Amino acid sequence: MYEKGHLNEMELIKLAQKGDKRAQERIFKEYRGFIYYICQGYFLRDGEQQDLFQEAAIGLLEAIRAYNFNLNVKFRNFAFLCIKRELDSAVSRSNRKKRQILNNAISIYSNKDDQNNRLDSSYFINEHLIKDENNTPENNFLEKEGLYELIGFLQKELTDLEQDVLMLRLQGFSYREITDILTIQPKAVDNAIQRVRKKISNTYVKMKNAC
């Protein structure tokens, strides 16, 4: 079943997401060279390059777990961003603690714009979609209904692009990363976010009136 040519990448990912260890191992085998390629962009003054590889492997595992088949995104592109983000996070943690083995790691991929790209969903909604006071009805609605319930309400309202941008943003990707994944201009990402923000407010009004 797992012989080369019997299953394509998407089929392997689906199996891996269901907990199939052999499918997961097959994906890791296929992406080993890809991981080493990304790790070459990071340098250690202390420690071994293998430590970076282990961090990158965690990023690949996260990519497998979080990959959304409804997005028009190649898995390889999504995996690259997840691996890069995991390495950047490891470097950031090590620099704060000063005692971990990645203490002096430097990334040639680092960008000032991406320093805060690990936003959780609540922070993203409150700070980037609803920018009014914290106690607005919209924010109370979000807290009451929950983020993913809200997305369910919005399914018929959002375009494919708006859904893609929202889901990637909720997963913590920065504007720059989203432009890379979806191969669109930064302005298109910003415009999509603004439209989503407006539709969230409109959805709140509809839900309120329906009660």
Domain extents in the chain = 9-110, 116-210
Q: How confident is the model over 143-155, as pLDDT tens digits?
A: 444 555 566 666 6
pTM, entire model: 0.51
- pLDDT of 132 reads 41
How far is Cα 138 from Cα 85, in angstroms, rounded to an integer? 31
What are the residues facing 42 on neighbouring strands? Answer: 107
How confident is the prediction along the chain (211 residues), in pLDDT tens digits per residue?
455 457 899 999 999 999 999 999 999 999 988 888 788 777 554 555 677 888 899 999 999 999 988 877 889 888 888 888 888 777 666 555 544 333 444 443 444 344 444 433 444 444 444 444 445 544 554 444 455 556 666 667 888 888 888 878 876 788 888 888 888 999 999 999 888 888 877 766 665 554 4
Q: How distant is the alpha carbon of residue 76 from its chain centre?
A: 13
Specify the CATH architecture of the domain 9-110.
Orthogonal Bundle (1.10)
